[in-house]
Copies of this chain bind each other. A is one copy, B any other.
């Protein structure tokens, strides 16, 4: 996609530079895979800028995204060792949040999710990271574990210049409304429809 001109220039009193540098809230939703994959692709660009990256995976299984996790941990280590790129923190609800002494379990899935969001709110307020991936976060709203108003208000009032990408199906209207960028991944054709099973290196 070309680094093109905007369709309209808003009368918001901002300079081009100010407008260029506004922090982004992106939502990747829709039924097709590619939502998280594209978020991690964006995180590659953020890493290359030397930004601090915080990934928060709100998925049940600790086995998901192992390929992306390994690659980003390698990139984060490269930063720590050589200074190239940015630092990377990768947190997973599925194996219990690393900052928490509690072990994640099936029973307190909602409580674990709420604890994850509380930590993200603290980090946003403290401007801990430059680029956040909240992976499969939309389900927490869909399932009523978090209030959309609380989420949107914390995101809208985040200080500084923190980019946030939220992925997952069923993004609620309040989140779509609050987002600067919303992409919907749509299935045209998928190998599982033709009976193919998931495979190593492709699905995980």
Residue ranges of A at the interface with B (Cβ–Cβ < 8 Å): 1, 3-10, 12, 16, 19-22, 24, 28-30, 32-34, 36-42, 44-49, 51, 66-68, 70-72, 74-75, 78, 84-85, 130-131, 163, 176, 179-204
Task: Check if B78 sits within 8 Å of A74, measured CB to CB.
Answer: yes
Cβ of A176: which chain B residues have Cβ within 8 Å of it? 188-189
CA A84 to CA B74, docked complex, whole Å: 9
Q: Is the CB of B9 within 8 A of A195?
A: yes
Q: Are B201 and A3 in contact (CB under 8 A)?
A: no
Complex Cα–Cα for A191 and B33 (A): 23
Q: How far is the CB of A10 from the nearest CB of chain B, in Å?
A: 4
Q: List 19 A-B contacts (CB under 8 A).
A: A3-B203, A3-B204, A4-B192, A6-B193, A6-B195, A8-B195, A12-B195, A19-B196, A24-B199, A34-B34, A34-B41, A38-B38, A46-B67, A47-B71, A48-B66, A48-B67, A49-B200, A180-B189, A182-B190
Chain B residues near A84 (CB, 8 Å)? 74
Q: A130 contacts which chain B residues (CB < 8 A)?
A: 201
